[in-house]
Structure 1
Amino acid sequence: MAEYKAILPISPQGSIISDSSAAPEQKPVVRVTKVKLSRTSTRKVRTGCVTCKKRHIKCDESKPHCGNCLQTRGHCEGYLPDQKKNKKSSGPAELCWDSTQAIIPRVAAVAVASPTAQTKLHINTVDFRDDNSMSYFQEFVGLVRGPWMRAASTGDLWEVMLPQLSRNNGTLRSAAMAIGALSVWYRQSAHVSLHAITVPDQPTSQGDTHYFQAVAHYCDSLKMQCRRASAQDAVFLSVLLLFFETLRGNRKAALDHVNHALSLLLALVTDTDAHHRLADLAPNPMPVIGAVADVFNHLAKQARTVFRGRILDGPPLPNLAKRLQSTNQTMETFMMLLNQTQSEAANSPESYPDSFDTLEQFEQIWPAIRRHQAAMGAVMEDIFKTSGLRGADDDVTITKLHYELFGNPRIVSFCENFHKSMVKLNAGFQPLFNQIMQADVGSPTYLRAILLRIEFMGVYIFSNAPSFIEDASARALTPLYREYISLAHIATRAAKKEFETNPAHHLSLQCSLSWCLLVISMFCRDPLVRDEAMWIIKEYPGQDGIWSIRALYALALRNRHVERVNAVGTPDEQWRRLWRREFVFEDSGDRVVLRYMERDEVTEKWQLVEEAADIPRDGGEAQWKRQPLTIHSGLLILDLFNAVAQGDMDTRLPIGRPC
């Protein structure tokens, strides 16, 4: 048979010589040696996907998901991590994501992640196209691991998860390189603020090459996602593309990414086949989806008051609005579902430690804090539904509605319990914070601690609705406002000093500093504190999510006029009129619509007026113009928030207030 051959010796000693004169000799015995050959010409491998191994069939080993499985079964369980140590590589460091242990950079060595935070990773190293591509990726890793970017996050997403996933996934890697190239372009610019830079239409200098390389990598990631779509790629790519568009100041595209990402997350947590989709993310998908949900939960609150076009063009987040309606969900119930995907640690104040040893330990408390905020929004929604005050247009009914929302016994009890937990949290964090404040002011830990303290103070102040019910309780918040302003001064100075070489490091998708400064500039009863908050916004170097910093400053500046025209009557009368201030953003944040009460000079009666202003791109002062009331004279913000849930601009069902 062809499998075996007789190997005969070819040496002279093995030859048979015939000689007639010689005596006949016995022929030598020739041995046949059987050699077993390999059944194939290549080494047998054991690197197939988990699904193919279970089914005992050949795997085509496509990454990140097997093509055979996708074609026959619709989903693939991915690949087991290879625990063999690879040879050292000159490439960028890979990070081992284990949320239960310290984060340690490894050079081309991949460890198995914790079962509670393990993703399905394709760990085969893929070479970068050139040195520029590698440097762009390294720039990306340095950018997302900065303290401003990680402010108010649990850290794993930016410091470990996204760098590791992007390093080992072609689609995500292209998006990461796009962000890195854009960061290099910012670093080589002569500007010190994100707001002062205009992206080029055509290359006018050698440095612009990095910008157009960023756009090219961005397009590559979209093409690869279209060719081979997967749930894991879609979820994490939504974060990276949002980051890219926010970084280059394209808020319209950023809003689109928020809209589609929230629709995707809603499908992942509510659809009947949600468990199949979640299985594509990781063996234990909840920590994965929770890390991403944390980002979009924060951005959803911003996007609810930002219209892509004008108010009458349709609701904010139109895709999400349709899916909420089809799944019988509201924005608040959806936010609660997202919060439930996050860590269940520290559910109650009793589980809070008496003292914190590290900032990482303190960060792990934030999921519980956000769950509380989402729960309070749901309580306020329920109170409004049962109040019987829907469709209120007259001042008496609207005032009654405000008292019901801010002074309802359920809200008061809820906020009192939350206040107690925040007091305990503050007692445990204060010693660690004071210790870090004595360290080097130039260290990243110093700025990170300041930012965490700012986030804590923001939640502590603005999550106490009963404090805003009357002028006296609002004035009692002034010392807390002053502390917040002091922290904001330190944070902005430290940020300018640490990141003066690259304004891209001022971006954060989860920091709420600029928004809280706006609320202080409008709601604090001390005019000096209000003005100080306004000037910080004007010089603010950062970019917090999709807010336009120039628009926030224009609002704070216009509020000085609103305060002045309402400075008539008793403090409580003034405060009740100031309740009627409302604002929304149109044209993706480049236009502001503001409502407030003003006394008619002829009739001397107070009436609701509406103004709008386009925000100049050159940093000039906005010009406010009076316009007719949009839709009706009731609480506009209730209609706008409900529009996200129902797709109807006049259903008048509240989802919450901007502050």
Structure 2
Amino acid sequence: MTKESSPASDEGVIGVQSKPPHDHNKPKLSRISTKKVRTGCITCKKRRVKCDEAKPHCGNCLKSRGHCEGYAEQSKKPKSSGPLQIRWDSKQTPNQITRAASPLIQVKLDPDSLDFRDAKGLLYFQEFVDLVQGPWITAGSSSGLWDATLPQLARNNATLRHAAVGIGALSMWYRQSGRNTLRKLTMPVHSIAEGDAHYFYGVASYCHALKLLSQQASVQDGIFLSVLALCFETLRGNRKVALDHVNHGSALLLSMLTDQDASRHVAAFAPNPKPLLAKVADIFIHLVTQARFVFRATPGSGPSLPNFTKGLRDRKHTLESFIVLICQLSASSTVTHRIPTVFKSLDEFEEYCAQALRDRSTMGPVIIDIIRTSDILTSIDHNDIGAFWERLDGDYRIKEFIKASALEMQSLNAAFLPLFNQVMLSDTKTPEYLRAVHLRLQYLGVYAFENPTQYHNFEALHAQTPLFREYLSLAEVAFHITKRDIANPAQHLSLQSGLSWRLLLVALFCRDPLVRDHAILMLKDYPGEDGLWSTRALYTLAMRNRDLERMNAVEGTLKEQWQRLWRREYLFEHGGDRAIFCFLAKNEMTGEWELVEETAEVQEDSEAIWERRPLTASGRLLMEEMTVL
């Protein structure tokens, strides 16, 4: 299998015809009449023989087989029933809710309690749990979804469990590969190295999960399997197939939430479905927004998310109106318009910060309306861009929202800083420390980056420089902790982090050249991958923009230089493997500044070579391709 191939397609299983990891038709052998071993090692349980229970490895196994797979973690039953946790399968109705143990107890697995037909399956599932409970994926993502909900669902659902085992096997392959980054990917075609067995076991298990879903289709399983498939394909570096899973998962969500029977579909999704649906939808909204910039092939060859795009059009929705619908679904009942004087916990601040981000979704339809009622998408006159920005900046709805939003963010900052500073005095090795850093980054991500009108105003961007500096400083702290605490590069996976994208925004728009260079260096050393972004592609684009800033500064006033930079546009084609950059460059023959388009193949170990090509949109904005969604 090459990087371009995949075990999955729109129809189910392609590319890899692997034998499923478990043969369910294999007759079971009769059990010998000895007392069942409950405390023995994994290997003895698998062989169904008596274990001498020597620690850390069974002596019988070492004598007879030369190795022992150790002991499964044993958890004592809690004295109290604990909080009510949701545990169900795809066929369970809301009336069939059962009381379950707390998440941290549930994911400590007993080989006898699950349908693991071999010790490897159990080992890989626990590796999956360790991965999704890791510090990076949980610190920057929806609270509870990764560290509790997904492991619980995968534990109790055969389709999702096989996908989880596949992810765990791939994570184990990374762990034993000696790699320190997700970026330098070379997937094995044949099992040559000893550790490659983990990879091929993972592919087989993943294919089996897709086969199970095709045999008994379920909307719930389809949505959650899309999330797990995104993890699998992102770990493999296959963003083209990841786009397919974003397409199908988001189309399923759209259908569920907008069909005539939407209320019935939502009620059948899960007990207390709205909070869970909102958390899952947050993942897809984040990735769909990225898909506006990342084309499966090239601009003009069709939308990257065809099913989702068609569904939006059929239902007379835009992406922005769908985001508003999701935000209404996820609105917190505990958040009031009155911000506390001081936040008492990180959980409390996270709810208010998330609500502030959701509030911004109401501006999306307004901005799209302004874009589509103007001539900006069809114009080839560079001066029309300035007129468009003036119209956007002067819209009374946007002006009122930005004014109210600025006051809200200032109040959030004042209420959070005492708690943040208190956590910063604690041990840097505690989970709360890293979480507080990420929450501060999320706050700055809204406050410093989410005002669309600032990106055409030189003075406004210059005034944001202290916030950009703080963002980079906090991001460096997060990187340092991650490198210290994470030995497995697979744990650098994230489907929801906006860090790398905001580093690119700093590298492009900050008016302090030293801060821009700082952001570029951080992109160069970025430890992981964020959803559909190729972080190396973001670095490649930032480096080319650095050259452009230097070329642009040779002529004109600061205002004229800045106005030329308004014409910059960028997209990524071939799943992010090639960057496209449009900008104004001086024609040395005529002395005029003309629009040019350059592309570069993204290189992992060397600097990219940029080449000019004919304009994709014949002088119009590439934004036209992005607003298809």
**CA distance in 2 between partners of 1:107 and 1:252 (Å):** 32
Residue 495 of structure 2: which of 487, 491, 509 is its match?
Answer: 509
1:640 matched to 2:625? The reply is yes
Match of 1:445 in 2: 432
Identity of aligned residues (%): 47
Q: Over residues 509-535 of structure 1, what are the superposed CA-to-partner deviations in whole Å (9 max), with x where a residue is unaligned?
A: 111111100110010111111111001
Match of 1:134 in 2: 122
**CA distance in 2 between partners of 1:340 and 1:278 (Å):** 14
Match of 1:424 in 2: 411
Match of 2:105 in 1: 105
8 Å contact 1:246–1:254 — kept in the other structure?
yes
Residue 627 of structure 1: which of 613, 617, 622 is its match?
Answer: 613
Match of 1:279 in 2: 267
Q: Kindly name which structure, 1 or 2, has the bigger radius of gyration based on alpha carbons.
A: 1
1:550 matched to 2:566? The reply is no
8 Å contact 1:144–1:150 — kept in the other structure?
yes
What letter matches 2:567 in structure 1?
A: R
Shift of 1:566: 1.2
Match of 1:454 in 2: 441
Match of 1:382 in 2: 369
**CA distance in 2 between partners of 1:133 and 1:574 (Å):** 59
Residue 436 of structure 1: which of 423, 432, 435 is its match?
Answer: 423
8 Å contact 1:172–1:237 — kept in the other structure?
yes
Shift of 1:65: 5.9
How many equivalent residue pairs?
A: 540
Residue 77 of structure 1: which of 74, 93, 102 is its match?
Answer: 93
**CA distance in 1 between partners of 2:579 and 2:133 (Å):** 33
Question: Secondary structure, in 3 states, of the residue corresponding to 2:193?
Answer: coil
Match of 1:581 in 2: 568
Match of 2:60 in 1: none
1:409 matched to 2:409? The reply is no
1:45-64 equivalent positions in 2, closer than 5 A: 64=89
Question: Secondary structure, in 3 states, of the residue corresponding to 1:626?
Answer: strand
Distance 1:325 1:307, change over 3 A: same
Q: Over residues 387-412 of structure 1, what are the superposed CA-to-partner deviations in whole Å (9 max), with x where a residue is unaligned?
A: 46552221222220122223433222
**CA distance in 1 between partners of 2:198 and 2:152 (Å):** 23
Shift of 1:571: 1.3
**Greater displacement, 539-548 / 429-438:** 429-438
What letter matches 1:464 in structure 2?
A: N
Distance 1:395 1:357, change over 3 A: same
* Unmatched tracts of structure 1, length 5 or more: 1-62, 67-75, 84-93, 97-102, 110-123, 645-659
**CA distance in 1 between partners of 2:477 and 2:488 (Å):** 19
8 Å contact 1:178–1:215 — kept in the other structure?
yes
What letter matches 1:232 in structure 2?
A: Q
Distance 1:406 1:152, change over 3 A: farther
Match of 1:363 in 2: 350
Residue 593 of structure 1: which of 580, 601, 607 is its match?
Answer: 580
Match of 1:528 in 2: 514
8 Å contact 1:186–1:504 — kept in the other structure?
yes
8 Å contact 1:345–1:368 — kept in the other structure?
no
8 Å contact 1:354–1:428 — kept in the other structure?
yes
- What TM-score do you get using the length of structure 1 for normalisation? 0.78
Match of 1:614 in 2: 601
Question: Secondary structure, in 3 states, of the residue corresponding to 1:308?
Answer: coil
What letter matches 2:625 in structure 1?
A: L
Q: Which runs of 4+ in 1 moved over 4 A?
A: 63-66, 106-109, 386-390
Residue 571 of structure 1: which of 558, 581, 586 is its match?
Answer: 558
1:97-496 equivalent positions in 2, closer than 5 A: 105-106=105-106, 125-345=113-333, 349-350=337-338, 352-387=339-374, 389=376, 391-496=378-483
8 Å contact 1:339–1:367 — kept in the other structure?
no
8 Å contact 1:307–1:315 — kept in the other structure?
yes
Distance 1:347 1:465, change over 3 A: farther
Shift of 1:485: 1.2
- What TM-score do you get using the length of structure 2 for normalisation? 0.82
Shift of 1:369: 2.5
1:497 matched to 2:484? The reply is yes
What letter matches 1:539 in structure 2?
A: D
**CA distance in 1 between partners of 2:326 and 2:113 (Å):** 33
Shift of 1:386: 4.2
Shift of 1:64: 4.2
* Unmatched tracts of structure 2, length 5 or more: 1-87
Shift of 1:183: 0.9
What letter matches 2:96 in structure 1?
A: L
Q: Over residues 136-158 of structure 1, what are the superposed CA-to-partner deviations in whole Å (9 max), with x where a residue is unaligned?
A: 11111121122210234331211
